[in-house]
Amino acid sequence: MILGITGGMGSGKSELARCFSQLGAWIVDADAIAHRLLAQGVGRKALCSEFGPDIEDATGQLDRRLLGRRALENEYSLQRLYAIIRPDLEVELRRQLDDASHNSPCDIVVFDVPLLYEWGIQGWVNRVVVVRADREVRIARIEKRSGLERVEIERRMALQMDEEDKCALADYVVDNSGTLSSLAEQAQILWQQFKNNND
Spatial contact of 71 and 64, defined as CB atoms under 8 Å apart: no
Q: How confident is the model over 80-120, as pLDDT tens digits?
A: 999 999 999 999 999 999 998 887 666 889 999 999 999 99
Q: What is the mean pLDDT of the segment spanning 153-171?
A: 94
Whether the per-residue pLDDT at 56 is higher than 60: the answer is: yes
Residue 199 pLDDT: 54
Buried b (16+ CB within 10 A) or exposed e, 73-89: eeeebbebbeebbbeeb
Residue 196 pLDDT: 80
CATH code for 2-39+96-198?
A: 3.40.50.300
Q: What is the mean pLDDT of the chain?
A: 93
Residue 34 pLDDT: 95
Whether the per-residue pLDDT at 19 is higher than 70: the answer is: yes
Residue 105 pLDDT: 63
Q: What is the mean pLDDT of the segment spanning 8-26?
A: 94
Going by pLDDT thresholds of 50, 70 and 90, the confidence category of residue 51 is very high
Q: What is the mean pLDDT of the segment spanning 22-43?
A: 94
More confident residue, 57 or 106: 57
Q: 134: number of CA atoms within 13 Å, CB side? A: 6
User: Coil, strand or helix: which one is 111?
Assistant: strand
Specify the DSSP element, H or E, that contains 34: helix 30-39
Whether the per-residue pLDDT at 194 is higher than 90: the answer is: no
Going by pLDDT thresholds of 50, 70 and 90, the confidence category of residue 6 is very high
Instruction: Express the helix, strand and coil content of the chain in percent, nearest 5 each.
Output: 60, 15, 25
Spatial contact of 160 and 42, defined as CB atoms under 8 Å apart: no
Going by pLDDT thresholds of 50, 70 and 90, the confidence category of residue 27 is very high
From residue 94, alpha-carbon distances to 30, 33, 56, 124 in Å are: 10, 11, 28, 8
